[in-house]
């Protein structure tokens, strides 16, 4: 069951719309325009995570994980990590936090007693009911809505940008909520 979409879509400013139209018409983009577009995207993501924390009382990555556990009862930590597109140690930390809050129950009740199976607790269901959607976050949902050609263009352009930044590749598997919600 996909998360409810309760976050109002931010209306682009006239400047952002002008930049989009200019790009569509083949006019050269400026670094200022691209920077403004990044700000719009990051602000939308940050606002969503802040709303999640305010209404649900947990972070965005925890909310997404909780929704996956509800949708896939008995899921293991490794499969949860894959679904969240994070490293397994990151997923383990998320699961530990959810478990400590009484939102999920981790048990070894499957055929392989070495692996942990996760189930949503009653309190976890209550959190999901009051949480704004989409549970996966606004950016993953927006990316899902893009056509393959646009995704290819974004991938190529962002790869060029990433090459020019002095970055740590491990950031690729860090939940966005951990990167953007700090104040």
Confidence of residue 178 (pLDDT cuts 50, 70, 90): low
The two tokens of residue 131 are: 């949480």
How far apart are the two ends of the chain, measured CA to CA in Å?
A: 31
What angle is formed at CA 48 by the lines to CA 45 and CA 55, rounded to 5 degrees? Answer: 160
Confidence of residue 23 (pLDDT cuts 50, 70, 90): low
Average pLDDT of the residues of the chain: 82
For the chain, give the percent of residues with pLDDT over 70. 78
Read off the pLDDT of residues 83-140 as tens digits, 9 standing for 90 and up: 998 889 999 999 999 999 999 998 887 666 678 899 999 999 999 999 888 888 888 8
CA distance 91 to 72: 15
pTM above 0.95, yes or no: no
Q: Which residues pair with 119 in a beta bridge?
A: 105
Confidence of residue 172 (pLDDT cuts 50, 70, 90): confident
How is domain 29-180 classified at the CATH fold level? Arc Repressor Mutant, subunit A (1.10.10)
Q: Are 104 and 121 in contact (CB under 8 A)?
A: yes
Compute the average pLDDT of residues 30-40. 88
User: Is residue 170's pLDDT more than 80?
Assistant: no
Confidence of residue 80 (pLDDT cuts 50, 70, 90): very high
Q: CB neighbours of 4 closer than 8 A, spacing ≥ 6?
A: 132, 133, 134
Output 109 or 73, whichever has higher pLDDT.
73
């Amino acid at each position: 069951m996909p998360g409810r979409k309760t976050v109002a879509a931010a209306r682009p400013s006239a400047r952002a719309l002008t930049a989009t139209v200019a790009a569509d018409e083949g006019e050269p983009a400026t670094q200022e325009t691209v920077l403004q577009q990044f700000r719009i995207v990051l602000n939308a993501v940050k606002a969503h995570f802040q709303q999640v924390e305010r209404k649900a009382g947990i972070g965005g990555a925890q909310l997404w994980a909780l929704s996956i556990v509800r949708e896939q009862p008995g899921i293991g930590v490794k499969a949860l990590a894959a679904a969240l597109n994070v490293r397994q140690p990151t997923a383990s930390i998320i699961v530990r936090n959810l478990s400590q809050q009484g939102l999920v129950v981790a048990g070894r009740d499957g055929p392989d007693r070495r692996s942990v199976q996760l189930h949503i607790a009653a309190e976890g269901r209550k959190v999901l009911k009051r949480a704004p959607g989409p549970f996966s976050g606004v950016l993953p949902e927006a990316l899902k809505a893009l056509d393959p050609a646009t995704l290819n263009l974004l991938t190529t352009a962002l790869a060029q940008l990433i090459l020019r930044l002095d970055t740590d590749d491990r950031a690729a598997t860090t939940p966005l909520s951990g990167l953007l919600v700090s104040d």
